[in-house]
Amino acid sequence: MSALYVITSEKTKHINTISSCSSKKQGAYGKLKTHKESKLKQLMHIDEVFSAISLLYIHPLKSNLDSDFIKNTFNPSDLAFCDEILCKVSRSFAAVIRQLPPTLLVDVLIFYLVLRALDTVEDDMTFFQSNEEKVKILQSFHKTALVDPNWTMMGCGEGDERRLLQEFPKCHSVYAALPERSQRVICDITQRMATGMAEFVDKDLGQGTVDVQQYNRYCHFVAGLVGEGLSRLFSVSGLEQPSLATELHLSDQMGLFLQKTNIIRDYLEDYVDGRAFWPQSVWKKYSATGDLGYFANPTTEEARVAGLNCMNELVTDALELVPDCLSYLSKLRCSEVFRFCAIPQVMAIATLDKCYHNEDVFTGVVKIRKGMSCLLINNTTDVFGVHSIFNKFASKISKKAESVRKSGFKDPSYDRTIQACQTILELTDAEIQNGTSHGSLMKGTVVVASVAAGCLTYKSPMGASRSASLTTAALASLGIYSFFRMGFKKFIGTSSSSSLLPASKLCGD
């Protein structure tokens, strides 16, 4: 959760990566250095390049917003606003929402926007004259914003979040047209989340949460409840079994896994904001100064090592949630719902791999490559794909931990990290073995593409520039890889062994 962008004189010495450009997002978002790989290095990941092209132009996520059911149920202009503002406040989440079945899509879209509006109220640290006033607004949000069709809030938040609150009556119009069962779920979760947020308004989070228990409690209020709400919406839609609504623990863990990943990645941004969430019971074991900012832009080897040790422990804590997340996903039967739930989860495990033992987290913003995001989305269509992804990144983290240990780095969380990864590997190995032949042939196509690309590069005319040769190689690899990949998919039929069913085949249940 973003907060007021404030840097005290004590913190200023740590935050030398902040740019002077203005931002329309709240807090430090967009004001920190972003660590990016070079364009050439990104292009070297041929499978990711193809995935990006495939996702953008060949097999994009299908939007169901234009379905007759939606057109005939909701006010077109109000729904258009909701879709537009969703893209503005969360572009990554918009695509996975739009691919949901028509009977569920708008319910989830409005659920997200309502909670985003509530989050904007919580995040704004300057709009309210007192904490008491903010608490009052939060606790009454479900009785005002969700009841009064003309409710609006002017001047709270920044950029598109502010606009969301200013034009909230358009969201209310769509909310009011939802089935009553969906309205009850959204209202209940909104009330409980607001109550939890109000609990933290008066807490000084400049140095993070007090302990892991409070860390988990905060994550429960802002993310675990979202998981519960989604499970209930899935169930009342009829697309998932009624029993899914009772899986409170697993739903909570799904949310906690995503939230903890974001908190780990956003260390510097949250610290700059003066509202951080790393638990003191963890980071104080490593900070020589007793200050959370000790790890920011470290200037000594001691501080660098301490920061990595601290982060590795928090990454491990998040990894221990994975078994419950996989258990939750195994209970889903609708392919569109499965994909909606699984895509953020695979993004999270990839982000944890990126953060593990990566000191860039303490000097700026760390993100996975866009090409990798596209690859993950394309591969997240069934249990096999999801298990393969979790297996891959658990293996990478485990090997990384072993590598740094061999180099002489003494990580107090090493044994716990290895155990967490081993548990994930054991849970996913069975599914991976079932698809071994699939994986072997796909790897073979990459090898063939790489060899062909090398030949084409070698045969390039004398005097051709190195960049031209590299471009030729990349394009050749892409073309050959694409040919084999598409041909292979047509040959085996990737969804034949999946127990998931599209919404169209579940409607009669």
Mind telling me the catalytic residues? 218, 265, 275, 340
What amino acid is encoded at 93 in this protein? F
In 3-state terms, what secondary structure has residue 358?
Answer: coil
CB-CB contact of 293 with 337 (8 Å): no
In whole angstroms, what is the distance from residue 84 CA to residue 86 CA? 5
At what angle are helices 180-201 and 212-219 packed, to 10 degrees?
150
CB-CB contact of 355 with 265 (8 Å): yes
In whole angstroms, what is the distance from residue 101 CA to residue 248 CA? 23
Q: Please measure the distance between the N-terminal and C-terminal CA atoms of the chain and give it in whole angstroms.
A: 39
In whole angstroms, what is the distance from residue 471 CA to residue 458 CA? 13
Q: 3-state SS of the chain: helix, strand, coil percent to 5?
A: 70, 0, 30
In whole angstroms, what is the distance from residue 112 CA to residue 170 CA? 14
In whole angstroms, what is the distance from residue 18 CA to residue 466 CA? 36
Q: Is 421 exposed, middle or buried (0-12, 13-18, 19+ CB in 10 A)?
A: buried
Residue 465: Cβ within 10 Å count: 9
At what angle are helices 180-201 and 225-236 packed, to 10 degrees?
180
Backbone angles phi, psi at 105, to 5 degrees: -55, -55
In whole angstroms, how large is the CA radius of gyration of the chain?
Answer: 24
Question: Tokens representing 336?
Answer: 């569109």
What is each CA distance from 382 to 122, 154, 332, 495, in whole angstroms? 36, 44, 10, 7
In whole angstroms, what is the distance from residue 234 CA to residue 251 CA? 12
